[in-house]
Amino acid sequence: MNILFVADPLESFQTYKDTTFAMMREAQARGHTVAACEPRELVWRSGGVVQAQVRQIRLTGEAPQWFVAESTTVRELRQFDAVVMRKDPPFDSEFFYATHLLEQAEREGAQVFNKPRALRDHPEKLAVMEFPQFIGPTLVTRDAAVVRAFHQEHRDIILKQLDGMGGSGIFRVKDDGLNLGAIIETLNRDGAQSLMVQKFLPAISEGDKRVLVIGGKPVPFCLARIPQGGEVRGNLAAGGLGVAQPLNAVDRAVAEAIGPVLAARGLLLVGLDIIGTSLTEINVTSPTCFQEITEQTGFDVAAMFMDALQAAARR
């Protein structure tokens, strides 16, 4: 297969933990050709097809120069056997426009994973609202009075940006309501922007579990990201400790219920975030934690992903 990864700059990869790197490494080990571009390098001219300035690369197995660009050319996306969209959040206007170009490439014959329309249809925090049976009390609003009423009802809450990533823009407000007004103003920009509010889940002390679902099937191990040093956030980017562990019965039940639904919509890879027994986010843009799970358990997540990608690209 000839695989194109649409991703952040290769030079920014932290290869010891980067999931896209793990995918590329597995692809090359199987004899596939690996190429890469950034969303900014996508081009669509009137009367033409979607193209990109593409680097065909070879992984060296060495650091820090972990790849060599063997050629740089303009290629049509439909010339690749698979296009893997791995641009990190935030889901901003440029990400949105990139999904439109990728969807046009699909109409021209390209196979894109995850499907661009599915990426647009599943904002990572809002997507959980479709599955109320699996989530705790949750509110989406831009109305400060509604947020205050939610706090009065639940007393201990988490407030977060809808477009945040890596634990950024997450606040906890306890029973005393200290700084609630200032936090609302910061997140909703005086009523101009929606935010999400959730009842605080004490089970966060045991970790915010990342459950990976590939081709509709759960990876048998998750990564519990455990807050450190008095932090309320378990995100690895916020200093959380990642501990791999087998899925428990609840994790598996949630993944087996939601996974096939999302896979049928074109989401080959999904990262479910579960705290205790409650689903809190559905990550679809560039779910991570492949390397941490593999290193701690021996289960090769990248191999499972590449199996699924190969099967999907042959359809």
Active site residues: 125, 160, 210, 225, 233, 273, 281, 283
What CA–CA distances, in Å, run from 161 to 39, 67, 96, 123, 268?
Answer: 24, 35, 18, 12, 26
Question: Could you tell me whether strands 221-226 and 241-246 are parallel, antiparallel, or unpaired per DSSP bridges?
Answer: antiparallel
What CA–CA distances, in Å, run from 166 to 103, 202, 238, 288?
Answer: 27, 20, 7, 11
Kind and range of the H or E element at 282?
strand 278-283
Burial of 52 (0-12, 13-18, 19+ CB in 10 A): buried
**How far is it, in rounded angstroms, from Cα 157 to Cα 137?**
10
8 A C-beta contact, residue 209 and residue 273? yes
What's the residue count for the chain?
Answer: 315
Structure token digits, residue 178: 């200290």
